[in-house]
Structure 1
């Protein structure tokens, strides 16, 4: 498989930024559900865990975007 061009890597980085933004929105939704007193304690706990997971995914997407912008394939230097 051929290495992506710089333009393709830029497009991938933009896509990863969009994915990170979506995960941030999901985390905010989870935080709202976790703090909603109308939700049961178990629902609040699940929402808190989901929000944490979404934040982790957002961080990973941003790391991938940074690697792509630096001209690296995410994970190639691990």
Structure 2
């Protein structure tokens, strides 16, 4: 398989940043639901957990974008 060009890597990095932003929005929604006293305790707990997962995914997407911008394929250097 041919290695990605620098342009392809930059395009993929841009896509990863968009994914991170989407995860940030999802995390914010989860935090809001977790803080809403009109939600049940179970719903608040699930929303808080979902927010943590979304935050983690956002961080992973940003790390992938950084690797791609540095000319590395994410996971290739492991």
User: TM-score scaled to structure 1, two decimals?
Assistant: 0.99
Map 1:45-56 onto structure 2 (within 5 A).
45-56=45-56
**Which residue pairs with 1:32 in the alignment?**
32
Q: Kindly provide the CA deviation profile for residues 12-65 of structure 1, in whole angstroms up to 9, marking residues without a partner as x.
A: 000000000000000000000000000000000000000000000000000000
**Which residue pairs with 1:76 in the alignment?**
76
In 1, distance between residues paired with 2:33 and 2:73?
A: 36
What is the alpha-carbon root mean square deviation over aligned residues? 0.2
Where structure 2 has 5 or more consecutive residues not aligned to the other structure, the ranges are none
**Which residue pairs with 2:61 in the alignment?**
61
User: TM-score scaled to structure 2, two decimals?
Assistant: 0.99
Structure 1 segments of 4+ aligned residues over 3 angstroms from their partners: none
SS at match of 1:22: helix
Where structure 1 has 5 or more consecutive residues not aligned to the other structure, the ranges are none
